[in-house]
Amino acid sequence: MRSIAKILFPVNVPEPFDYVVPQGMRVARGDFVFAPIGKQMKLGVVWELGTAESESIPGRKLKEIAERKNCRGLNVGMLKFVDWTAKYNCASLGMVLRMVLRSYKALDPSPIVTLYQPSTTVRLAGLSPARKRVLDLEGVWPARAADIAKLASVSASVVKTMAGVSGLLEQITAPLDPPFDVPNPDYDERKFALTPKQIAAGKVLSDLVAEQSFNIALLDGVTGSGKTEVYLEAAAQALRQGGQVLILVPEIALTQAGLRRFTERFDAEPAQWHSAMGEAARRRTWREVAQGRAKLVVGARSALYLPYADLQLIVVDEEHDNSYKQDEGVIYNARDMSVVKAKLSGASIVLASATPSLESLTNARTGRYVHVILPERPGSAVMPEIELVDLKEDPLPSGKFLSQPLVDGVKAALDQGDQAMLYLNRRGYAPLIICRACGGKLKSPDTDSWLVEHRRTGRAMCHHTGFSMPMPRACPECKVEDSLHAVGPGVERVAEEAAILFPDARIEVLSSDTAGNPERIRARMEAMAAGDIDIMVGTQMVVKGHNFPHLTFVGVVDGDLGLAGGDLRAGERTYQTLVQVAGRAGRAEKPGRALIQTHMPEHEALEALADGDREGFIAAELAMRELLGLPPYGKLAAVIISAPDANKADEFARKFLAKAPRAEGIEIMGPSEAPIAILRGRHRRRLLIKAEPSVNLSAYMNSWKSRLRPPNKTKLQIDIDPQGFM
C-alpha cells in the first residue's frame, strides 16, 4: 500500500491536500516538501501521514511529492498551534501557515562568507586617507567587504588589498547571519536593587516557570511599578533551564532604550522580530529561533508564530493593548493565542499590565490565573495626581483647544526645567474640513469618512484608506475659493497653539505620520527620554510603555474622544488609555501630574480616574457587562460582509443569516450597515453574534461559514471577540 501525505501550502486554502509519498522517500509530520500544485512546484508542509485508503476514490489520481527539503521541519506542537489558530479564529489553515513561513531562506543554513576585521599587527604611520577611514570604523567588525566599503566610502578593492600584502585587515570565514549572543541569566548590571515587593513578585513568577508546565499569571502593577524588572526574573529562570523566552511588546515599544534593559540584565541583545525588519534580519531571527539557539526573543505580535524549538515562557507586556489584535488577513488576538501557545508548549505565560483587560482580571480573580500585584512605584516615585478640567467651567478660548489650567500645568513644568506632554489621539491638523460657503465637508472618495487636514504636508487625507490629495484652494462642490475651514483639533494644531503660548520651548509632534518610519519614531522617543524635547504633543503612540524620567506634566486635550461611538469597550479603553498616559508622568524622583479636559466629568470612567478608584470602575463596568451578557460573561463574534455593490452585500447578508445553524444560547443581531458603510468602494454589512459562555462559538461559526460560500467578489470575514466596531 502506498503511503499518502497531506500537504498544507501557505496559501489561502482551508485544508491540506493529499499526495503520494514516492518509493524510497521518507517524510515525517512537519517536514518541508516541494510538491506540484497546478503547474507550479510549491513549498508545503507535511501535515498528516496516512495510507492509501482514500486513494481508492474513483477518478481521483494523486500526484507525488517531488522532493523533501533537507532541513529541520516544524515540530508537532507548531502544527497543532497553526490548526488551533485557524479553527479558533475561523481562518484559512493555509493563511495561518503563511504567518509561520515568513522567510524561506531561513530554512537553509546561513551562507558562509568572507568577513574582514582589523588585524592585530602594528599599524604603520602614513596610511592613506581611504585606509584610515576603514580602520577608523567602529562597531562593525567583522564585516563583508562591500559593507565596509560602503560605510567608509572606499571601493571594495581597497578593503581587499588591505587584507592582502599590507596585512592591515585579516580575513575570516563565518556565517553571514551570526548567532545571537547567549543571554546570561545571572548577569545583572542594573543600577538599582529590586524592592522586597518586586523580589517577592519575581519569585512567584520564577517558581511557576520552574514547574515547567502550563501556568498563567497576571502581573498587575501600577504604571512604573517595575513590571519589566519583575518579569525579567521569570525570564532568567526559563533561561537557566535552557529554555526559550518570548517577550511580546506593542510594536512601538521596541526602542533601543527598551532593548537596553534586556542587555543590562542578561548581557546579550535579544533577538528581535517586528514589521520594520528587513529580510536579512528576519531570516536570521527565524533560523536561530527554529534551531533553538536564539534564547530570548523580543517582538511584536507576529513573533508568536516563530517556530520555537523549546519555548518555556511567554510574556505579554501591556496585555490590554489593542495592537495585539490583528485586524486584517487572519484576524486574531495575539494575547489570547499566546495563552493557547503556552498551553500547547507546556510553558508559562505572564500577562503584564497596569490596566489589565476585564477578561484577564476576571480570570485572575476567579483563580484561573495566578494574580501577582505590584501596588506601588519603587523608591520615592509616587503615582501622578490626576484631575479633570470641566470645560463647562473652564471654557476653551474661541478657536483654541487648551484651557487655562492645561496651559498653567505646562508652564509650571517648564519653569521647573521639566518636560510636558499633550496627548490627543488624533493625527493631522484638523479632523474635519468644512466649506464656509456651502456647508459641505470634504469626504473620502470611496469611503464613508471625512478627510483630515494635514497642514505639515499640505494634504487632505483619509485615515481609513490612506487616500490623500493636496489640500484644495476651492471647495470641490461649490468651487468658492478660500472657503475651506479646519474644524477641531489634531496634534499638529495643538502643537501650533503650544508654540504660540511657549515660543521658546522645543516642541515635537509624535504620531504615525509626523515621524514617518519606526526608526524615526524611536529616535524621537529617545530624544524625549534624554530631555531634548520640552513639550511633546502625541497620539496614542506616546502611551506605550515608555519611561521619560523628566516628564512631570501630562495634559489630555480631549478625554471624551474614546467615549463616542457605540463600542462596548469604550469606557474600558478610555480608562486604560488615560491611566497609561497619565502614568508617563512622574516616573522618577519628581512627582507627576495629569489634567484631563472633558465635557463629561460625570462619566464613570473619568470620575473613577480622578478619584483613583480603579475598583469602583471595574465593578461598575463588570456589572454592566454581566447584565448585557457581554465579555467576560458571554462571547461575541462579528461577521463582516462586503461587496462592491450594495445590493449584493445586502443579498448575501440575508442569505447568510438564513443559513445560521439553530443552537441554544446564541443570539444574532443584524445584518446592519457597518459604521463605516463603504470602505475602499466596498459596501459593508455586519452581523453580531452573542453567545452564552458555555457555547463553543468558534465551532458554531465554522459550521455556519461552511454552509454557504460567498459569491465572486463578495467577501465574508469572521472576527472572533471583536475589539472595535468599524
Interacting residues toward ligand ADP by CB under 6 A: 192, 194-195, 198, 221, 223-229, 378-379, 547, 587
Closer residue to ligand ADP in complex, CB, 315/678:
315
**Per-residue three-class SS string for 319-350:** CCCHHHEECCCCCEEHHHHHHHHHHHHCCEEE
Closer residue to ligand ADP in complex, CB, 215/547:
547
Contact 104, 42 (CB under 8 A): no
| Shortest distance (Å) from residue 578 CB to ligand ADP | 15
| Shortest distance (Å) from residue 201 CB to ligand ADP | 11
Cβ neighbour number for residue 684 with a 10 Å cutoff: 23
Q: Hey, what amino acid is at 494?
A: V
Contact 478, 438 (CB under 8 A): yes
- Map grid coordinates 513561513 to a residue: 101
How far apart CA 557 and CA 195 sit, in angstroms, is 35
Q: Hey, what amino acid is at 154?
A: V
- Map grid coordinates 470641490 to a residue: 476
Closer residue to ligand ADP in complex, CB, 229/719:
229
Closer residue to ligand ADP in complex, CB, 103/580:
580
| 720, β-bridge pairs | 637
Least Cα distance to 249 among 338, 318, 347 occurs for 318
Closer residue to ligand ADP in complex, CB, 195/425:
195
| Shortest distance (Å) from residue 354 CB to ligand ADP | 6
With H, G, I as helix, E, B as strand and everything else as coil, classify residue 375.
coil
Contact 543, 523 (CB under 8 A): no
Contact 298, 180 (CB under 8 A): no
| Shortest distance (Å) from residue 655 CB to ligand ADP | 49
| Shortest distance (Å) from residue 224 CB to ligand ADP | 4
Contact 334, 275 (CB under 8 A): no
How far apart CA 596 and CA 560 sit, in angstroms, is 9
Q: Hey, what amino acid is at 203?
A: K
| Shortest distance (Å) from residue 606 CB to ligand ADP | 22
Closer residue to ligand ADP in complex, CB, 109/379:
379
Closer residue to ligand ADP in complex, CB, 325/587:
587
| Shortest distance (Å) from residue 254 CB to ligand ADP | 14
Pairing of strands 715-720, 32-37: unpaired
Closer residue to ligand ADP in complex, CB, 201/718:
201
How far apart CA 630 and CA 722 sit, in angstroms, is 12
What does the angle CA 622 – CA 624 – CA 629 come to, to the nearest 5 degrees?
90
Least Cα distance to 324 among 234, 249, 214 occurs for 249
| Shortest distance (Å) from residue 227 CB to ligand ADP | 3
For 617, residues 6+ apart whose C-beta sits below 8 A from its C-beta are 571, 575, 604, 605, 608, 609
| Shortest distance (Å) from residue 83 CB to ligand ADP | 34
| Shortest distance (Å) from residue 229 CB to ligand ADP | 5
Closer residue to ligand ADP in complex, CB, 221/631:
221
What are residue 387's phi and psi, to 5 degrees? -130, 155
Closer residue to ligand ADP in complex, CB, 68/587:
587
| Shortest distance (Å) from residue 192 CB to ligand ADP | 4
Least Cα distance to 394 among 376, 407, 413 occurs for 407
With H, G, I as helix, E, B as strand and everything else as coil, classify residue 150.
helix
CA-to-CA separations, 467 to 450, 492, 680, 702, in angstroms, rounded: 11, 19, 9, 34
Cα Rg of the chain, angstroms: 28
How far apart CA 509 and CA 525 sit, in angstroms, is 11
| Shortest distance (Å) from residue 228 CB to ligand ADP | 3
Closer residue to ligand ADP in complex, CB, 70/380:
380
Cβ neighbour number for residue 605 with a 10 Å cutoff: 24
Closer residue to ligand ADP in complex, CB, 378/591:
378
How far apart CA 708 and CA 696 sit, in angstroms, is 20
Q: Hey, what amino acid is at 563?
A: L
For 698, residues 6+ apart whose C-beta sits below 8 A from its C-beta are 87, 88, 89, 90, 720
| Shortest distance (Å) from residue 154 CB to ligand ADP | 42
Closer residue to ligand ADP in complex, CB, 351/720:
351
| Shortest distance (Å) from residue 708 CB to ligand ADP | 47
For 648, residues 6+ apart whose C-beta sits below 8 A from its C-beta are 683, 711, 713, 714
CA-to-CA separations, 8 to 67, 96, 637, in angstroms, rounded: 15, 10, 27
Closer residue to ligand ADP in complex, CB, 86/194:
194
Element (H, E) at 314: strand 311-317
Q: Hey, what amino acid is at 418?
A: D
Element (H, E) at 187: none
| Shortest distance (Å) from residue 638 CB to ligand ADP | 32
Closer residue to ligand ADP in complex, CB, 227/685:
227
CA 86 to chain CA mean position, Å: 20
Cβ neighbour number for residue 50 with a 10 Å cutoff: 13
Closer residue to ligand ADP in complex, CB, 56/192:
192
Closer residue to ligand ADP in complex, CB, 167/375:
375
Q: What are 273's three cell numbers?
A: 522580530
| Shortest distance (Å) from residue 223 CB to ligand ADP | 5
With H, G, I as helix, E, B as strand and everything else as coil, classify residue 297.
strand
| Shortest distance (Å) from residue 380 CB to ligand ADP | 9
